[in-house]
Every structure is written in structure tokens, then in C-alpha cells.
Amino acid sequence: MVTNEKIAELKVIANKLRQHIVAMTCAAGSGHPGGSLSAADIVAALYFYQLKIKSAEPNWPDRDRFVMSKGHAAPVLYAALAEAGFFPVTYLKTLRKLGSSLQGHIDMLSLPGIEMSTGSLGQGLSAANGMALAARLDKKDYHVYCLMGDGECQEGQIWEAAMTSSHYKLDNLTAIIDHNKHQIDGKIEDIKNLAPFADKWAAFGWHIISCDGHEMKAIIEALGKAVQTKGKPTVIIVDTIKGKGVSFMEAKPLDYHGKAPTREEEQKALQELCQLEGFNNE
């Protein structure tokens, strides 16, 4: 059972990740804050509670694997890796700069702790399946997690991969969908509706869990249930808010899908994040 103290700690970490996301995209002058902010609580739960990983030994063969299929949410992953000790936090300000390992979209060869390069949507779940199949071949008990966007599920390859996961009964794999209900051009329901979303996954043979993506305890419990599920893969459909934590991004999610905050916006956002309950700014 996760303690209340741990939950409180994870909330603080998620808030830190959000501050990093705002600051690093502002420094870069480009990037994708909206979909990074919506995934911050999930990524905090994974990297600071759920994943068996060792920052000092990134290639530890028995580590859990995490694939960030929505590669444009690179900032939240970089923030988590930095906070987890894979590289110094100060390096985050090099995001998207020439020569930086923090590429605009995720490059596994440039940074330790990254399992797969992504950026062209729809490919991560297939790669995660490959890792889960390898675990089975090698008789290892690590678990594979794959975080996808909801808009990303318009890619056909997601459904090819979804069939593979259930065909091979990959219960050592958990897919997590950051269901923030927006894509670049508009609301998902207007661009190309995914509903009935959970039913689609169920029809593809998956165990479905739904949870509030900004309730840390709910996320932790959902992850716990997912890894205990046997005989089929689990997808956690996480209900999220695009731009979560920054009021003006939440209000206009489409404006901040792929646009960085200005200096003024950054200051305003950081101020808001620092005022959130329970967060002690150092």
C-alpha cells in the first residue's frame, strides 16, 4: 500500500516536472507544453514509484521498460530523467538546442535511460510489444509500460500493435493513454472521433482500467492493478486535462499544444505552480 506521505511526495515531484516543462520549453522557444503537462502526474508516478530502474545503471538488464510513444511529450520525460538522476537538472535548459542530447523528439541513442526513439506517432506500442516478447523469451519478469496520446490512437499502427499485444497475451505490458481529448487541429471528437474509446480497446482484447490522471493515488492504484492482471494486456485510460496546472494553458489547450510559453507566460505559470497546495518551492 502506498503511504500518504509517498503520495504527497509524488505530487510535489509532479509539480516540479511541470515547472521544468514550462521553463525548458520557454528557454527553447518551442516544444509541446500542453501534452507534457497533462502527462506529468502519470510520469511522476511511473518514475518515482512504479518503475524498477537504476539511474546509475541505465542498461540494467532486469529494469522495467518505459516507452514514451507520444514523442512530442519529450519535455516531461526529460524532466523526470533529470529529477531521477540520469543527468543534471541544469542540462534541461539545453532542450532543442544544437548539439544537445535533449532532442525535440526523443532520441534513445543520445540519452541514457531512454528505451525507444519516438516522434513519428503510433510506433511505440509495437516496440513495447517487442520488449515484452523479449522478456518472455529471456524468462525475465520486468514489466513494459507504454504511454500514448489519445490523438495518437488515430494512427492505424496502434491497432495493429493492440492486436499483437492481446494475441500474444502480453500481461507483462501496460499501455497508458493520456486522454486529454485534444489534438493539434482541435478537439478529438471534432477531428476524428475515437468514441467509444474504451470499448475499442476492450474489443481488441484488452483489460481496461480508467482513472483520473491528476489524482496521484488513483494512478498508483491503477498501475498496481495493471501489473497484477494476468492473461491479457492492460490499458489504463487516464482522464487528463491538456496544459494541467497552468490556468491559461488549461483554458486554451489548442494554443499550447506545440507552442512554448513566452517569458511573461513562463513567470505567470511558475507562479501558479508554486502556489499549489503542498508544494514547497526550494
Partner 1 sequence: MSEQKLVATRDVYGQTLLEIGRENQAIVVLDADLSVSTKTALFGKEFPKRFFNMGIAEQDMISTAAGLATCGKIVFASTFAVFGSGRAWDQVRMSVAYTRQNVKIVVTHGGLTTGEDGASHQANEDLAIMRALPNMTVIVPADGYEAANVIRAAAKMHGPAYIRMSRAKTPLVYENEYYGYEIGKGIVLRDGNDATIFACGIMVNAALAAAEELHRKGINCRVVNIHTIKPLDKQLVIKCAEETGAVVTAEEHSIIGGLGSAIAEITSENYAVPLARIGVRDTFGESGSPDELLIKYGLTKDDIIQAVKAVVKRKK
Q: Does residue 126 interact with partner 1 by CB under 8 A?
A: yes
Minimum CB distance to partner 1, residue 178 (Å): 19
Q: Which residue of 160, 185, 199, 255 would you call a contact of partner 1, by CB under 8 A?
A: 160
Which residue's CB is nearer to partner 1, number 65 or number 244?
A: 65
Q: How many other C-beta atoms can be found within 10 angstroms of the C-beta atom of residue 193?
A: 11
Q: How many other C-beta atoms can be found within 10 angstroms of the C-beta atom of residue 154?
A: 17
Which residue's CB is nearer to partner 1, number 61 or number 88?
A: 61
Binding mask 86-125 for partner 1 (x = CB under 8 A): ---------------------xxx-----xxxxxx-xxx-
Q: Which residue of 164, 166, 172, 234 would you call a contact of partner 1, by CB under 8 A?
A: 164
C-alpha cell at 248: 491559461
Minimum CB distance to partner 1, residue 53 (Å): 15
Which residue's CB is nearer to partner 1, number 134 or number 203?
A: 134
Which residue's CB is nearer to partner 1, number 95 or number 161?
A: 161
What DSSP assignment string belongs to the chain?
---HHHHHHHHHHHHHHHHHHHHHHHHHT-S-HHHHHTTHHHHHHIIIII----TT-TT-TT--EEEE-SGGGHHHHHHHHHHTTSS-GGGGGGTT-TT-SS-SS--TTTSTT------STT-HHHHHHHHHHHHHHTT----EEEEEETGGGGSHHHHHHHHHHHHTT-TTEEEEEEE--EETTEEHHHHS---SHHHHHHHTT-EEEEEETT-HHHHHHHHHHHHH--SS-EEEEEE--TTTT-HHHHHSGGGGSS----HHHHHHHHHHHHHSTT----
Q: Which residue of 21, 45, 46, 128 would you call a contact of partner 1, by CB under 8 A?
A: 128
Minimum CB distance to partner 1, residue 205 (Å): 14
Minimum CB distance to partner 1, residue 282 (Å): 36
Give residue for cell 532532442: 103
Binding mask 129-158 for partner 1 (x = CB under 8 A): xxxxxxx-xx-----------------xx-
Minimum CB distance to partner 1, residue 161 (Å): 5
Minimum CB distance to partner 1, residue 252 (Å): 31
| Nearest alpha-carbon partner for 69 in 167, 165, 148 | 148
Minimum CB distance to partner 1, residue 276 (Å): 37
Q: Which residue of 13, 24, 127, 209 would you call a contact of partner 1, by CB under 8 A?
A: 127
Residues 187-246 that bind partner 1 (CB under 8 A): none
Which residues of this chain interact with partner 1, rule CB under 8 A?
61, 65, 67, 107-109, 115-120, 122-124, 126-135, 137-138, 156-157, 160-161, 163-164, 167-168
